[in-house]
Amino acid sequence: MDGERASEARSAELAGESPRGGAAGPGGSGSSSLLQADVLDLDEDEDDLEVFSKDASLMDMSSFSPMMPTSPLSMINQIKFEDEPDLKDLFITVDEPESHVTTIETFITYRIVTKTSRGEFDSSEFEVRRRYQDFLWLKGKLEEAYPTLIIPPLPEKFIVKGMVERFNDDFIETRRKALHKFLNRIADHPTLTFNEDFKVFLTAQAWELSSHKKQGPGLLSRMGQTVRAVASSMRGVKNRPEEFMEMNNFIEMFSQKINLIDKISQRIYKEEREYFDEMKEYGPIHILWSASEEDLVDTLKGVASCIDRCCKATEKRMTGLSEALLPVIHEYVLYSEMLMGVMKRRDQIQAELDSKVEALTNKKADAGLLTEEIGKLEDKVECANNALKADWERWKQNMQNDIKSAFTDTAEENIHYYEQCLATWESFLTSQTDLHLEEDSEDKL
């Protein structure tokens, strides 16, 4: 029964249907206070690495629970993300990057292997190759189809100046991992995973995908949509519901804090790299030194051995930072930008409704036509609000789990690193102490 309700809700949402009435109102008793502003409590001073406050936690997300419409039709048609299936039936892998050089451009394609047991797919396994522009197209189509759902972010098109060269092996691997996560986040989303464009992206050959892209709205239609969106954004929203005001405030605060954490994390990694590069030189220096100190040969070689083991431990810790922590933090930097875009699209829909209501009030057009348009826009606003509220809760839960896991794993890795280095030096010092005691005993005899 739950599965049927979820299917009906998803069908209604995809068809653009929504109940009339029961629209989300501003504030009300169901609008709880948002997470405190010190969720990611950082001092203004960038040198302060005290990332989280002692009395507030990023993990305490339960305080924001916006009320959903309570009319019967609204309860039936609202998006029910909590009815997600427990069994995963779509597995996607992004691998085998391949460079392509033409007379016009150089680009990278990635192999995408999809395995599924879903009946709507013609086969159980597909293999295609896609370039970055194809991922951009998919993201755009999802945003167009679901303007107030939180679409997973793509990695930036251009890399930060001074980081790595374009198409460097490290850059390609970092992008591959990000694209892999992008597709799997879509596959795990209870609504996006059933999008037809997503299915085409995973299954169509290059020429079929190219043909499918041409079936979209024409240039003039897209320009008209853009003009209307810009006009709506210029008018602004007069009465944004309180729950979305709180949501917007959260997004702004989250963006500020996560960007600062990203900056600090990158600085820590840079300093760790400089420390590692310097430490690597000390081992060979001690080996060379031992050649000129006959009485200290074993001691100096022992120090060199300890430094070498600590170097390997440091390198392992740096790998953990670059693979486990930094990508997670930076992904949520991109998420913060995506969330701002989602809020703008929601406001544009409401602004369009407000303008029609204002025109009807001032009798600037045919009342009957305006009334019909207002009815449709009210349904559209309610659908947009319900979709965002449901997806917001889901996103917060994922964010909580991802960031908690990233910092926990990093802390455990740091503890293991310090224990390993400490044990290395303690073992060396113990052996040196025993050696000196043995030499003193021999001298006494």
Q: pLDDT tens digits, the chain, 445 residues: what are they?
A: 444 544 455 444 444 444 444 444 444 444 444 444 444 444 444 444 444 443 444 444 444 433 334 433 333 344 444 444 457 889 999 999 998 888 888 889 999 999 999 988 999 999 999 999 999 999 999 999 999 999 999 988 765 444 445 668 888 898 999 999 999 999 999 999 999 999 999 999 989 998 898 886 654 444 444 545 445 444 566 778 889 999 999 999 999 999 999 999 999 999 999 999 999 999 999 999 988 888 888 889 999 999 999 999 999 999 989 988 999 999 999 999 999 999 999 999 988 887 877 777 777 556 677 777 878 888 888 889 999 999 999 999 999 999 999 999 999 999 999 999 999 999 989 988 877 777 667 666 6
Contacts 24+ apart (CB under 8 A), 55-60: 58/399, 58/400, 58/403, 58/404, 59/400, 59/403, 59/404, 60/35
* Residue 98, phi then psi, degrees to nearest 5: -140, 130
Distance CA 84, CA 188 (A): 9
The strand pairing partners of 93, in sequence order, are: 113
Coil, strand or helix: which one is 186?
helix
What pLDDT was estimated at residue 170?
A: 83
Instruction: Say how far apart CA 205 and CA 211 lie, in whole Å.
Output: 10
Residue 41 CA to residue 239 CA, distance in Å, equals 30
Entry field: residues in the chain? 445
Say if pTM beats, i.e. exceeds, 0.75.
no
Looking at residue 294, what is its pLDDT?
Answer: 85
Longest CA–CA span in the chain (Å) reads 116
The tokens describing 267, both together, are 């600085």
Helix (H, G, I), strand (E, B), or coil: what is residue 129?
strand
Residues 310 and 424: beta-carbon distance below 8 Å: yes
Instruction: Tally Cβ neighbours within 10 Å of residue 210.
Output: 11
Q: Determine what percent of the chain falls in helix, strand and coil, rounding each to the nearest 5.
A: 65, 5, 30
Give CA–CA dist 334/319, Å, rounded.
Answer: 22
Helix pair 219-235, 326-361: axis angle to 10 deg:
80
Distances (CA, A) of 182 to 153, 199, 310, 341, 434: 7, 14, 36, 17, 57
| Degrees, nearest 5: CA angle 37-43-44 | 100
Q: What are 7-41's pLDDT values in tens digits?
A: 455 444 444 444 444 444 444 444 444 444 444 44
Q: What percent of the chain has pLDDT over 90?
A: 49
* CA distances, 333 to each of 196, 252, 270, 382 (Å): 28, 11, 19, 28
Encode 418-434: b = buried (16+ Cβ within 10 Å), e = exposed. Answer: eebbeebeeebeeeeee
User: Residue 282 has which token pair?
Assistant: 């000390």
Alpha-carbon gap, residue 261 to 254, rounded angstroms: 10
What percentage of residues in the chain have a pLDDT greater than 70?
Answer: 71
Rounded Cα–Cα distance for residues 124 and 126 (Å): 7
